[in-house]
A and B are shown apart, each in its own frame.
Chain A
Amino acid sequence: MYGIQLGCELIPLEISELRREGWDDWLFGWESIEFVVAGTAEGPDALRLDVARRVAAQAQHFIDSAIKHLDAAIAKERFGASGDWMVQGFEFGKNPADSVNEFEVWFVIDGDIYGRWYVKFQDHGPPLGCTPGAFSRRGA
């Protein structure tokens, strides 16, 4: 099974469009989805920002793949959740242990008030591409 090939296309984005959040996170919005890129007080990590812009250009592929990954493991009905996974955002380097090739997409779902559901992708490069390797539920 092959993953998603991360393309070279970058979404258009000026550094001035990024909003700083907290000490070292930088945010931008794309198609109503929030992208958070870790960095320093001076600005976002340039390599992670590059990955974020490329992921944003094909965000729907990653969302679909992540949902498939969650649905393969999670029984929503057991904890009273219903409906579709609703994407909230992508995160790049929020966990400092993550390499530049790793990022997460996160969701919420009706009925799980305190849960945030994350799927982590890792870019293995061609031919494998980006595959979902981990998922988690964290309390909001």
Chain B
Amino acid sequence: MSEPRPAAQAAEAHDEEAHPIANPQLAAVLAWVVPGAGHIYLGRRSRGIAYLLLVAASLFIGLGLHGRLWTPVPGEPLSVLATLGSMGMGAAYFVLRYAVGYSGDILATGFEYGSAFVLTAGLMNMLLVLDAWDIARGKKE
């Protein structure tokens, strides 16, 4: 009877079994810059378009409600996390922040709801980056 393999050995064996199907770094960068682009690059076209629509819908609803586009606030360490989360949406964050000068409108009725939608768009895209990375490495379908 064989002894159970330690977790590290099992993980290593799993890594060896995975066959990369594309460049994981490129897939991750594409997925980050434009939501869904990483999946489209990996041949998951319809899934990539669906992801793009979902992230874009979350972002545009948030912008329509004048939600906050997070930037670091001095004395508020959690704002750094929120900023990093928002940056997960990729190019859109920098376009909105630097090209459009968008920051949100705290006096708007939908400000809090909008902020949740905007932040969610960034966080969803972060998960898409990880998903594209795993697919490119052959660890996911």
Q: Tell whether A pairs with B.
A: no
